[in-house]
Chain A
């Protein structure tokens, strides 16, 4: 009996030898893709893929020589192929190691592509188990290849950490927040339309050779920033997923002048906002910033979709408004104007304490959307001769009016110009109906532009920093 058992065990162990290890992949036989860019190709159905992969030994500083000269920390391969995985297949013939998409951080789509349709990309993102659900998808103003080539971060050594920090942190408010997996779901559910962040490469900004340190203030595309006040709203925080951070929000105090930078920029005609909310801030869109920086990539603003086509763009400030309406605004610095100080601006630090409460009422084909927004703020800087702290209540009321005006203007724009429900009020409208069938018969998307909005803003000032001015003699 024992001999029989021994024989069987030996036979079985022989069998295992026949199979081998299939999925065995040594960690140094794999090339990790950092970013993928998709452009329209020359022929009808082909796309042009840009694959940016990491060179780990340069990144970690081990093995090989360090220093700026020589190879860089990432490499780029550009192929034409009908789909993403065939592109990777082709690229495997160029680069010796096998590509894997499991550590991809960002996927950039060019705007020409988005104006046609993004269905093939979205499908493979939903279906493949390789791509992380937290990958960020962005739209490039221009070609994606230009953007990927232009990104040269000024603090980090490699773009990997750059993408990650910019897209994850939550101190950028000029970039629309969008969870990556939401893109696929919104696309399928067809109730809330997507807004993807915009990235772009600015022209004419040169990077100094051999200078890898980021200077403070220099840097990554600043989001509009607070011209005039010390802080720029939202630094590079990208908790908003799906944002392309080609431009990081400034986030550095003290302006964005870097020493020793050459910038020969064209004159950019950027309109300035003169509403009460975000008074005197420029309305930036990626690719069109007038910030002097080392990194040529920039991220600000968003691209609006309807179903699977891109139909328009929104600027940085409008993206901020979008964040507030969706309830995903984290923190940022904003400027308000006040009637008491016509020439000056008041900087406050905005936070959204609660998600907005929305109710949708539908009576006989008439849609009324009621939203209640809760914002809080702290004073950061006030103009010289004013004593705003004495009369906070009136300032709050005025600010509420300014904010409400800005929100209404934006919502009207979504109705008239875009005609797509990007805030996602359709989700709330579902509550009115009892079954799926009746909701589909109602046809929300067609009736969106007849909706009426009733916005209520609650804005409170809580703190004033370390100083609380008083008028003399009282």
Chain B
């Protein structure tokens, strides 16, 4: 269904989609991994990683400008004909599927831990799978509009949450300044780029957007906003919890929301924040499911997307049950991020450079 270009994804919607994709994983175990790596200097590591990511994004989009409104699959087709397109498509599908299965497992884990302790995992996962299947049926345009309504609202709630946490901050928790040492911050700190690995979705969604200018601006705002949010969150986490304790919490942000206490009435509001975060998670999974089906359709030149949704949902749900406990899940998550970071950062740049070279050759 081709809409007139007026109602395609515009700057604000694209920005909100990407901000959601990149920041919603922050609420899992990301601060904990950073603190394990860098100790008290986790915030320095996050700032360093964010600057790298912003720089990488701007370089990528500059190189990409020649290609215009083509998605990464179209570029790979023009560069290397069919085989390269299939290879790139399969890599993308594998990365995205792995991403979304880790999410489909972590999110019900956190729901089970905090909201519904006794309900079996299968029930929670089935409800989630049904919801995102319906969302994928509704299409990417509907999802983008919901994003542009919901993400600013969730952002305001996050700001309120952070403001309410300021009484618990303690500047002494930052010291010693360099934590576990500069090697840890700078070199193995590159793991922190896992937050920004979702920027790959932008390059797949380009055909749905209005114009390349919108893409550029939307993506730029999104990267900057998510960089700021991640830095602020990790900074708060460092200020509130000192080093050895901070390495222990499985859900750091949830733990921080448990601290909030205003008088006798506002206590234990963590269920409410989980509620707000749940909707963002479902939007995340919905977008990913649609993108996976779309890539599959483009790679194999199929006609219809909607019939692919249910098989993929079932595959993803089944894969998400593979880790047998939460410890396995954390380990597999770490491995996944280590593998996928180079692809997510280098693949768009690489293909765009190849496209430019090929363009020069043709002309």
Binding site for B on A (CB under 8 A): 12, 19, 22-23, 102, 126, 129, 132-134, 164, 168, 181, 184-185, 188-191, 427-428, 430-431, 433-439
Residues on B with beta carbons closer than 8 Å to the beta carbon of A12: 130
- Cβ of B225 within 8 Å of any chain A Cβ, yes or no, is no
| A435, B179: Cβ atoms closer than 8 Å | yes
| B179, A22: Cβ atoms closer than 8 Å | no
Pick the contact of A189: B113, B123, B242 (CB < 8 A). B242
Pick the contact of A185: B117, B177, B245 (CB < 8 A). B245
Residues on B with beta carbons closer than 8 Å to the beta carbon of A126: 248
Residues on A with beta carbons closer than 8 Å to the beta carbon of B170: 427
Known: A190-B244, A427-B173, A436-B176. 5 other contacts (CB 8 A): A133-B261, A184-B245, A185-B242, A185-B245, A189-B242
Q: Can you list, as one digit per residue, whether each of B168-202 has a CB less than 8 Å from chain A (1) or not (0)?
A: 00101101111111000000000000000000000
Interface size class on chain B is 20 to 34
Q: Which residue from chain B places its CB closest to the CB of A433 in the assembled complex?
A: B176
Residues on B with beta carbons closer than 8 Å to the beta carbon of A22: 116, 118-120, 123
- Cβ of B66 within 8 Å of any chain A Cβ, yes or no, is no
A30 to chain B, nearest CB (A): 14
B266 to chain A, nearest CB (A): 11
Please measure, in the bound complex, the distance between the C-alpha atom of A189 and the C-alpha atom of B244, giving whole angstroms: 6
| B116, A436: Cβ atoms closer than 8 Å | no
Q: Which residue from chain A places its CB closest to the CB of B268 in the assembled complex?
A: A132
Please measure, in the bound complex, the distance between the C-alpha atom of A437 and the C-alpha atom of B119, giving whole angstroms: 44
Residues on B with beta carbons closer than 8 Å to the beta carbon of A188: 244-245, 248
Q: Can you list, as one digit per residue, whether each of B214-256 has a CB less than 8 Å from chain A (1) or not (0)?
A: 0000000000000000000000000001111100100000000
| B181, A431: Cβ atoms closer than 8 Å | no
B89 to chain A, nearest CB (A): 30
A83 to chain B, nearest CB (A): 18
Residues on A with beta carbons closer than 8 Å to the beta carbon of B117: 23, 129
Q: List 15 A-B contacts (CB under 8 A).
A: A19-B120, A22-B123, A129-B117, A134-B267, A185-B245, A188-B244, A190-B244, A427-B172, A428-B172, A431-B172, A435-B176, A436-B40, A436-B176, A436-B180, A436-B243
Given contacts A22-B118, A132-B268, A134-B261, contact A434 B241 (CB under 8 A): no
Please measure, in the bound complex, the distance between the C-alpha atom of A436 and the C-alpha atom of B243, giving whole angstroms: 9
Pick the contact of A129: B114, B176, B245 (CB < 8 A). B114
Residues on A with beta carbons closer than 8 Å to the beta carbon of B108: none
Residues on B with beta carbons closer than 8 Å to the beta carbon of A19: 120, 123
Residues on B with beta carbons closer than 8 Å to the beta carbon of A190: 244
- Cβ of B358 within 8 Å of any chain A Cβ, yes or no, is no
| A437, B245: Cβ atoms closer than 8 Å | no
Residues on B with beta carbons closer than 8 Å to the beta carbon of A102: 268
- Cβ of B286 within 8 Å of any chain A Cβ, yes or no, is no
Residues of chain B in range 95-152 having any CB-CB distance to chain A below 8 Å: 113-114, 116-120, 123, 130
| A431, B245: Cβ atoms closer than 8 Å | no
B173 to chain A, nearest CB (A): 8
Pick the contact of B113: A129, A427, A428, A436 (CB < 8 A). A129
Please measure, in the bound complex, the distance between the C-alpha atom of A22 and the C-alpha atom of B127, giving whole angstroms: 14
Please measure, in the bound complex, the distance between the C-alpha atom of A437 and the C-alpha atom of B41, giving whole angstroms: 13
Residues on B with beta carbons closer than 8 Å to the beta carbon of A191: 242
Q: Which 5 interchain pairs have the tightest Cβ spacing?
A: A430-B175, A427-B172, A22-B119, A22-B118, A431-B175
Q: Which residue from chain A places its CB closest to the CB of B126 in the assembled complex?
A: A15
Please measure, in the bound complex, the distance between the C-alpha atom of A435 and the C-alpha atom of B170, giving whole angstroms: 18
Given contacts A184-B245, A188-B245, contact A434 B119 (CB under 8 A): no
Pick the contact of B180: A181, A431, A437 (CB < 8 A). A437
B248 to chain A, nearest CB (A): 8
B43 to chain A, nearest CB (A): 15
Residues on B with beta carbons closer than 8 Å to the beta carbon of A428: 172
Residues on B with beta carbons closer than 8 Å to the beta carbon of A164: 264
| A434, B176: Cβ atoms closer than 8 Å | yes
Please measure, in the bound complex, the distance between the C-alpha atom of A164 and the C-alpha atom of B181, giving whole angstroms: 44
Please measure, in the bound complex, the distance between the C-alpha atom of A158 and the C-alpha atom of B272, giving whole angstroms: 30
B325 to chain A, nearest CB (A): 15
Please measure, in the bound complex, the distance between the C-alpha atom of A436 and the C-alpha atom of B244, giving whole angstroms: 11
Q: Can you list, as one digit per residue, whether each of B248-284 has a CB less than 8 Å from chain A (1) or not (0)?
A: 1000000000110100100110000000000000000
B138 to chain A, nearest CB (A): 15
A23 to chain B, nearest CB (A): 5
Please measure, in the bound complex, the distance between the C-alpha atom of A52 and the C-alpha atom of B120, giving whole angstroms: 31
A125 to chain B, nearest CB (A): 12
Please measure, in the bound complex, the distance between the C-alpha atom of A181 and the C-alpha atom of B248, giving whole angstroms: 14
| A23, B119: Cβ atoms closer than 8 Å | yes
- Cβ of B31 within 8 Å of any chain A Cβ, yes or no, is no
B39 to chain A, nearest CB (A): 5
| A181, B119: Cβ atoms closer than 8 Å | no
Please measure, in the bound complex, the distance between the C-alpha atom of A71 and the C-alpha atom of B181, giving whole angstroms: 62
Q: Which residue from chain B places its CB closest to the CB of A126 in the assembled complex?
A: B248
| B176, A439: Cβ atoms closer than 8 Å | yes
| B261, A435: Cβ atoms closer than 8 Å | no
Please measure, in the bound complex, the distance between the C-alpha atom of A435 and the C-alpha atom of B243, giving whole angstroms: 12
Residues on A with beta carbons closer than 8 Å to the beta carbon of B40: 436
Q: Which residue from chain B places its CB closest to the CB of A439 in the assembled complex?
A: B176
Pick the contact of B118: A23, A133, A134, A168 (CB < 8 A). A23
Residues on A with beta carbons closer than 8 Å to the beta carbon of B118: 22-23
Please measure, in the bound complex, the distance between the C-alpha atom of A309 and the C-alpha atom of B170, giving whole angstroms: 26
A324 to chain B, nearest CB (A): 18
Residues on A with beta carbons closer than 8 Å to the beta carbon of B39: 435-436
Pick the contact of B267: A129, A132, A184, A436 (CB < 8 A). A132
Please measure, in the bound complex, the distance between the C-alpha atom of A431 and the C-alpha atom of B175, giving whole angstroms: 5
Please measure, in the bound complex, the distance between the C-alpha atom of A168 and the C-alpha atom of B262, giving whole angstroms: 12
Please measure, in the bound complex, the distance between the C-alpha atom of A421 and the C-alpha atom of B291, giving whole angstroms: 57
| B243, A189: Cβ atoms closer than 8 Å | yes
| A189, B180: Cβ atoms closer than 8 Å | no
A164 to chain B, nearest CB (A): 7
Residues on B with beta carbons closer than 8 Å to the beta carbon of A434: 176-178
Please measure, in the bound complex, the distance between the C-alpha atom of A435 and the C-alpha atom of B113, giving whole angstroms: 35
| A23, B245: Cβ atoms closer than 8 Å | no
Please measure, in the bound complex, the distance between the C-alpha atom of A436 and the C-alpha atom of B242, giving whole angstroms: 12
Pick the contact of B259: A23, A129, A181, A439 (CB < 8 A). A181
Please measure, in the bound complex, the distance between the C-alpha atom of A121 and the C-alpha atom of B113, giving whole angstroms: 21
A199 to chain B, nearest CB (A): 21
B174 to chain A, nearest CB (A): 9
Pick the contact of A435: B114, B123, B180, B242 (CB < 8 A). B180
Please measure, in the bound complex, the distance between the C-alpha atom of A21 and the C-alpha atom of B113, giving whole angstroms: 17
| A430, B259: Cβ atoms closer than 8 Å | no
Pick the contact of B179: A23, A168, A436 (CB < 8 A). A436
Please measure, in the bound complex, the distance between the C-alpha atom of A28 and the C-alpha atom of B117, giving whole angstroms: 19
Q: Can you list, as one digit per residue, whether each of B50-65 has a CB less than 8 Å from chain A (1) or not (0)?
A: 0000000000000000
Residues on B with beta carbons closer than 8 Å to the beta carbon of A168: 264
Residues on A with beta carbons closer than 8 Å to the beta carbon of B248: 126, 188
B176 to chain A, nearest CB (A): 4
Residues on A with beta carbons closer than 8 Å to the beta carbon of B259: 133, 181
Q: Which residue from chain B places its CB closest to the CB of A436 in the assembled complex?
A: B39
Please measure, in the bound complex, the distance between the C-alpha atom of A129 and the C-alpha atom of B249, giving whole angstroms: 11
Pick the contact of A430: B176, B181, B241, B264 (CB < 8 A). B176
Please measure, in the bound complex, the distance between the C-alpha atom of A420 and the C-alpha atom of B231, giving whole angstroms: 36
Q: Which of A126, A129, A190 gathers most chain B CB within 10 Å?
A: A129
Residues of chain B in range 275-310 having any CB-CB distance to chain A below 8 Å: none
Q: Which of A184, A190, A437 gathers most chain B CB within 10 Å?
A: A437
Q: Which residue from chain B places its CB closest to the CB of A424 in the assembled complex?
A: B172
Residues on B with beta carbons closer than 8 Å to the beta carbon of A438: 176
Q: Which residue from chain B places its CB closest to the CB of A133 in the assembled complex?
A: B258
A355 to chain B, nearest CB (A): 11
